[in-house]
Structure 1
Amino acid sequence: MTDFLLELRSEEIPARMQAKAREDLARLFAAELAKAGIEAGAIVTYATPRRLALIARDLPLETASVSEETKGPRTSAPPQALEGFLRKTGLTQDQLEDRDGIWFAVVEKPGRKTADVLAEAIPVIVRAFPWPKSMRWGAASASTESLRWVRPLQGIVALLGEEVVPCEIAGIASGSATLGHRFHHPGAITIGSAADYIEKLRACHVIVDQDERAGIIRDAAAKLAADAGLELIEDEGLVAENAGLTEWPVPLLGRFDEAFLSVPPEVIQLTARVNQKYFVCRGRDGKLANAFICTANIAASDGGAKIVEGNRKVLAARLSDAKFFYETDLKTRLEDQLPKLEKIVFHEKLGTVADKVERVAKLARWLVEEGIVKSSPQGGKDLASLAERAARLAKADLVTGMVGEFPELQGLMGGYYAAAQGEPKEVAEAIRDHYKPVGQGDDVPTAPVTVAVSLADKLDTIVSMFAVEPPTGSKDPFAVRRSALAVLNLVLLNDLRAEIGKVVQAAVGNFRNLDNPGDGKPNHFLTIAMMSNRLPDFFADRLKVQQREAGVRHDLIDAVFALGGEDDLVRLLARVKALQAFVGTEDGANLLTGYRRAANILKKEGWDAAQQSTSHPGLVPGSNAPQAPAPAEDWMPEQVRHDDLGYEPQPEEAALIAALDTAAPAAAAAVAAEDFEAAMAALATLRAPIDAFFEHVTVNDANREKRAARLALLARIRDAVHGVADFSKIEG
């Protein structure tokens, strides 16, 4: 066994591509070896800006011989078939094996040297490499058949043990020589084997392991900040990016003019991060400090003073632009920016952003006026008016200079501008946070005005996009599903008591003349009725997705939805969670079994409420019990009460009737009071009587009167359970 080293050296590989390139290299390499029946003990990959490397551990020096078997014609087949098979295999008839009247050709293939397998595999891997973007170079680039790589490929190191694996790709021959750091050690170095690869490059100022470089950057940056009495604002994405930009990382701390701190801290951080790849720091007071940390790719003789000064000047220029945008934007009130929104198309079939703002403002006010979004007393403030005001200003920052430069700051800058221009605190916060939650793990707003605007904005997006480009299984260009999940998070976290169908109707109602545009243009919209019917089901599906991650069973959500009329999501989820806790108990599991037995018997007997005869309404073995229909072929008295069944019920039958008389109204009352745990507890009392009933009572008695009464009793079990959930939808 021995180790194999492959290094593909090129000009700078973009940092964002390096992690995926390492994965692809390991995958392609393993696949090529598998074709020859070779499996490495372990595969490790590395990436720096100038090289992509792989070390495969414990490779055999030779592959094992293999026996290949080919099935041929029957021994009774015509001679021509046998002759064709012999030509195909290159064997003679006496070399074939006769197995139960069928010819088989068995060929022993000798093993191959692993070096030969690798020599063939390396060019295949390089030419098949799936870079997101690649290029051709040099004179050969005139041909579309020339080699493509992320940047010009300059060298290949291929060592199996201490021996070079000879191969050549586009005139680049493999060898054992590579280059060290571009500035500290630009000359060639010879690698002896995979064992000394990492340390030889380290001696030449190249740290091959990307995780080690990231650790150096993370620790050194934190220490620099601490030594300056500051705290590093952690950013793992920036750590990884700087590790991908350097082979010998040297973090350095610099300072910028305190005057720039008048700009919102998010602007400074984004400017430093996006444009310059710098870290920023905060002071002991928690506020952003006028300090940055850059990562050099060289250990400078002056300690990095000139590098820091150069980076400070570049950052100052960027921050000057940001400060100019900020101060210029503040000179124009947000409401004066609104006419510009009429020139921005929201969607070609839905009008402008100004049209969307009008719809969102109306819906935000409606959500408050309907009592869906509530709050504690506002000290005389009109919550509905605040919500409408915030909604009207929420998109105004889209036309500001700062958001034009940094689209990531939309909403955030609007909040700053609103606060600076004297808008109420609730309005400024709502503008700032109305896009939230954006994705999984994002903060969910809880301030009432923010909740109203955020909910209205997302509902409008869902309804409008559902009207023109509803999401499909493979396509959701406007992230409608993500908006729906955000709506669910807002509703559930803030305990918003609203029927989703009613809310959807209100959002749909903001679109006028959807069914009949009246302008001579083709109608691109679904009808209002279609949207109103489809969207609650869409939200139900999203609820299943969301709650699956929280460990809630989707079949239980179906069981509650199947009852119909339950689209208050907070109440629905409370019912589902209580149901999940119940069916996980022994009483719940046994009741589910009893329910299924009852439901199956009723189904077999054709006991369907939709077929109930008005002349035979069914047994009512309890004054408040729901009526159950009689089988069409059976005679049933008009009204038979508990006391006049016409026969003496068996003890187990009487016990079940009594249990139902108590449990059914108790469960119904608990459901009405939204005490779903109590409803489940009431149903749990039925478990023992149902078990005893099925053990000792014959439902399909020869006496038709008894049979009908007992089927009615089973229907009462079913109806009592259906008051909580449709147990037929529960799996397992």
Structure 2
Amino acid sequence: MPDLLLELFSEEIPARMQAKAADDLRRMVTDKLVAEGLVYEGAKAFATPRRLALTVHGIPARQSDLKEERRGPRVGGADAAIQGFLKATGLARIEDAKIQTDPKKGDFYIALIEKPGRATLDVLAEILPVIIRTFPWPKSMRWGERSARSGSFSWVRPLHSIIATFGPETEDPDVVKFSVDGIEAGQTTFGHRFMAPAAISVRRFEDYEAKLKAAKVVLDPQARKDIILADAKQLAFAQGFELVEDQALADEVAGLVEWPIALMGSFDKEYLTIPDEVIRATIRNNQKCFVVSDPKTGKLTNKFILTANIEATDGGKTIVGGNERVIRARLSDAKFFYETDLKTKLESRLPKFDQIVFHEKLGTQAERIKRIERLAAEIAPLVGADVGKAKRAAHLAKADLLTEVVGEFPELQGLMGKYYAQAQSEDATVAAASEEHYKPQGPADRVPTDPVSVAVALADKIDTLVGFWAIDEKPTGSKDPYALRRAALGVIRLIVENALRVSILNVAISALGGLLNKRPREAIVDGQKLPGDLLAFFADRLKVQLRDQGARHDLVDAVFSLGGQDDLLLVVRRVEALGKFLDTDDGKNLLAGTKRASNILAIEEKKDKRTFDGAPDTGLYNLPEEKALASAIDQVKGEAGSAVAREDFASAMSAMAKLRPAVDAFFDKVKVNDDEPKVRENRLKLLNEVRAATRAVADFSKIEG
């Protein structure tokens, strides 16, 4: 079957836009093909700094013919309706329509419309220019003489040529005939800007990719990235060093070059007195270069590796020299910033926070720091932290935001606070908390384990959550400008992975109290509901967390539905035990019996407009199965309640399993809705006892299945 090759050749496309642009091109073209009835076998898109390319293989040579029946007006209907039907269907006269009889509504006209399929080449010529003109670049530009025209074509950078060919492997492909703003689609592209700038004529994808490689262009971004990392590692290894890998930087550099060449440069050893992270940020951010470490010490060396886009005639000496000059200047600045920062104590910076607004409704950064400090002191005993150290850590944790280095490299916030705290001889746990209180910042990020860091991290995140909940700035849909979902997941991971017993409700109430002490109460949206609403948000985030770990979200609902479940560690343990129990035959059968009991009760309670609370009358038990179920319930209540009290949820589930045979026998032998009203009521009360007994561990009505 025929294949499509499409290339859009332009000036340099920003590296950050390339991956999405390639994906957008693949999606837009393939979606249009499918919409036109042209189902393809496969598609792959590519990006280099100067081109977007797409190959789609296995496309039919033409659309299938379509046959459609369209129902028209009733025979003998109004002339206007008949004329409209003829116009819509393209029939010349009503006699060309068939008549179909409907037994209930009479005779109707039916038009048989046959639409021959078009050649795929024609379809492509129609859809490709529309896709190019409407391409969703985040930013685009107009250029040259055409730029003055209103509504003229725009692209991310000046577009120079378009390749569009279509045809089977065994034949020369056809050029898809179209133009965009005077640029005619053809078969010509260009190689490397400096090493092979001549025009290249191509036919299909395999030919295109091979000729580009010969012209010093590696088309596949992943292949360029692999080359960059492999060559950089080899270059470092040859000097007895190790490359400090940086996947994000490798992705970016792969978008800056079409023919990657790794080169090594150096800088003065005096700059190694700067923290490694500052050196790395300076070299990475300013020159997109990799840093190198000494495997013997684990520290950085005074070497770096850059990726050139050309095989220089001097072996890269000029390119290396230019990078060394820039890096030397940038490191000199960084060293000045670092040494200047060290001259000012962290605590001396704090008064400036009085003039920095955190949020107009939540006060200044200084007020927020005081709230975190107070909350960290309250949380400290709950997590085994020293209260004094927790307060001191919270007091200093944000101070590095006002330093020169963090101003230059915001990604180093926290880390620089640790270095500056160490330099002024703060306690090791206080210094570590400056960095660790921001963690974890994502599912792959490390969770702090030091109690002081944990106390400050929890205080920081819970203050954020309570504050934005209080002013009704909750996440909505996909929008979460204050990263509140991430903060909640951070709290969950801190508690669960450190096996902490912390009441989220109590901490949230305390945080709200700290907020109300300083902020006007009229700014707070229903402070009474806030802790409960926030707990529900934690339940949703916990479901996401457990689902990612393979647990069922409905089990989280079943536990939270019991009410008052704000000890996240116990919730997780209950969910784990419940999941294991429901994987057994006893668990599955008890769930089925309990849900059956709940369903019967729901129907009868709605019918009678009452609940069936209260103890059953033992004198009304007529059948042995009733007595057996009542006895089993009494036994299970005691055993399960005792097990839950000592937080042994596995034993609680084992106790619940003893209900299963009695429940099965009850439903097998007992008619719940007995003709005698008192017996019926008594049996419904017995079912309510089953429901109440199982609620010792979870609300089984919330469990799916």
Normalising by structure 2, we get a TM-score of: 0.92
- Bigger mean CA offset, 250-259 vs 399-408: 250-259
- Given the superposition, is the C-alpha separation of residues 692 and 326 from structure 1 closer, same or farther in structure 2, using an over 3 Å criterion? same
Contact 1:471–1:481, Cα closer than 8 Å, also in 2:
no
Question: What does the per-residue CA deviation read over 1:266-303, in whole Å, with 9 as the maximum and x for residues that have no partner?
Answer: 11111222221111121112222222111000011222
Which residue number corresponds to residue 151 of structure 1? 157
Out of 188, 196, 202, the residue aligned to residue 199 of structure 2 is 188
SS of equivalent to 1:45: strand
1:586-618 CA-to-partner distances (Å, cap 9, x unmatched) read 111222233234444555555999979xxxxx9
Indicate yes or no: 2:501 matched with 1:497. Answer: yes
The aligned residue for residue 383 of structure 2 is 373
Corresponding position of 1:723: 696
Q: 1:197 & 1:700 partners in 2: Cα distance?
A: 78
Q: Does 1:336 align with 2:348?
A: yes
Native 8 Å contact 2:414 2:436 kept in 1: yes
User: Could you tell me how far apart the structure 2 residues matched to 1:37 and 1:178 are?
Assistant: 30
1:646 Cα shift? 4.9
Please report how far the alpha carbon of residue 68 of structure 1 lies from its aligned counterpart in structure 2 after TM superposition. 4.8
Q: Letter of the aligned partner of 1:525 in structure 2? A: I
Mapping of residues 123-522 of structure 1, within 5 Å:
123-160=129-166, 161-284=172-295, 285-368=297-380, 371-374=381-384, 383-474=386-477, 475-513=479-517
Per-residue CA deviations over 1:426-472 (Å, capped at 9, x if unaligned) read: 00000111100112211111100000000001111111111124314
- One-letter identity of the residue aligned with 1:572: V
**RMSD of the alignment, in Å?**
2.6
CA-CA distance at 1:121 after TM superposition: 2.5
Structure 1 residue 155: Cα displacement: 1.1
Work out whether residues 411 and 431 of structure 1, in 8 Å CA contact, stay in contact via their aligned partners in 2. yes
2:7 match: 7
Q: Kindly tell me: are residues 191 and 652 of structure 1, through their superposed partners in 2, closer, same or farther at Cα, counting changes over 3 Å?
A: closer
Letter paired with 1:443:
R
Q: How many residues align?
A: 692
CA distance in 2, matches of 1:109, 1:605: 60
Kept after mapping to 2: 8 A contact 1:515/1:526: no
Q: C-alpha displacement at 1:325, in angstroms?
A: 0.7
Question: Is the Cα–Cα contact under 8 Å of residues 362 and 519 in structure 2 kept in the other structure?
Answer: no
Structure 1 stretch 144-153 or stretch 200-209: which is displaced more? 200-209
Residue 485 of structure 1: how far off its partner (Å): 1.3
Question: Deviations 1:484-543 (Å, cap 9, x if unpaired)?
Answer: 1111111111122122111111111112347855xxxxx322243232332222222222
What is the distance in 2 between the residues matched to 1:145 and 1:446? 58
- In structure 2, the gaps of 5 or more residues are 102-106, 167-171
1:540 to 1:165, Cα distance in 2 relative to 1, 3 A: closer
CA 704–82 in structure 1, closer or farther in 2 if over 3 Å, else same: closer
State the partner residue of 1:640: none
Aligned AA (1:435): Y
Deviations 1:38-95 (A, max 9, x none): 3333222221111111223234444444335443322222344334433441523443
Name structure 1 gaps, 5 residues minimum.
376-382, 518-522, 613-617, 619-626, 631-635, 637-644
CA separation in 1, counterparts of 2:516 and 2:85?
75
**Partner AA of 1:356 in structure 2:** R
500-509 vs 655-664, which moves further? 655-664
- Measure, in 1, the Cα distance between the counterparts of 2:361 and 2:687: 55
Q: Is the 8 A contact 2:475 2:481 kept in 1?
A: no
Partner Cα separation in structure 2 for residue 652 and residue 177 of structure 1: 86
Cross-structure match for 1:621: none
Aligned-pair CA distance for 1:692? 2.4
Q: In structure 2, what is the equivalent of residue 615 of structure 1?
A: none
CA–CA distance in structure 2, aligned partners of residues 172 and 463 of structure 1:
57
Quick check: 2:217–2:258 contact (8 Å CA) kept in 1? yes
Cα pair 1:232 1:280 within 8 Å, conserved: yes
The SS at the match of 2:377 is: helix
Equivalent position of 1:622 in the other structure: none
Aligned residue for 2:72?
72
Give 2:104's aligned residue.
none
Separation (CA, whole Å) in 2 of partners of 1:193 and 1:601: 68
Q: Residues 416 and 432 of structure 1 are in contact (CA less than 8 Å); yes or no, is this contact kept in structure 2?
A: no
Q: Greater shift after overlay, 532-541 or 648-657?
A: 648-657
Distance change in 2, residues 1:190/1:719 (3 Å) = closer
Match of 2:122 in 1: 116
Deviation larger for 481-490 or 171-180: 171-180
Post-superposition offset of 1:650: 4.5
Q: Is the 8 A contact 1:135 1:150 kept in 2?
A: yes
Report the secondary structure of 2:255's partner residue.
Answer: helix
Deviation at 1:687, TM superposition (A): 1.4
Contact 1:607 1:629 in 2 (8 A): no
Contact 2:16–2:255, Cα closer than 8 Å, also in 1: yes
Aligned residue in 2 for 1:569: 568
Match of 2:169 in 1: none
**In 2, distance between residues paired with 1:405 and 1:536?**
38
Greater alpha carbon shift after TM alignment, 202-211 vs 89-98: 89-98
Q: Is 2:592 aligned against 1:593? A: yes
Q: Does the 8 Å contact 2:475/2:484 carry over to 1?
A: no
Q: 1:606 to 1:678 in 2, by over 3 A?
A: same
In structure 2, C-alpha distance between the alignment counterparts of 1:37 and 1:607, rounded to whole Å: 52
Instruction: Indicate the residue corresponding to 2:657 in structure 1.
Output: 684
Letter in 1 for 2:355: K
Decide which structure has the larger Cα Rg and report it. Answer: 1
Residue 104 of structure 1 pairs with residue 107 of structure 2: no
In terms of mean alpha carbon deviation, does 351-360 or 238-247 score higher? 238-247
Summarize the Cα distance change of 1:531–1:289 in structure 2 as closer, same or farther, 3 Å threshold.
same
Q: Mapping of 1:548-627 within 5 angstroms?
A: 548-603=547-602, 606=605
Cα distance in 2, alignment partners of residues 548 and 183 from structure 1 = 52
Q: Tell me, yes or no, if the aligned pair for 1:74 and 1:103 is still in contact at 8 Å.
A: yes
* 1:618-663, Cα deviation, whole Å (9 max, x unpaired): 9xxxxxxxx9246xxxxx6xxxxxxxx5588644444334433432
| CA displacement 1:299-357 (0-9 Å, x = unmatched) | 11222122112111111111111111111000000011111111111011121101100
How far does residue 714 in structure 1 lie from its aligned partner after superposition? Answer: 3.5
Give me the whole-angstrom Cα distance separating, in 1, the residues matched to 2:507 and 2:241: 49
Give me the whole-angstrom Cα distance separating, in 2, the residues matched to 1:24 and 1:601.
53
- Check conservation: 1:96, 1:106, Cα contact below 8 A: yes
CA distance in 1, matches of 2:607, 2:424: 67
**Whole-Å Cα distance in 2 between the matches of residues 64 and 289 of structure 1?**
65
Q: Distance in 2 between matches of 1:81 and 1:653?
A: 71
SS of residue matched to 1:454: helix
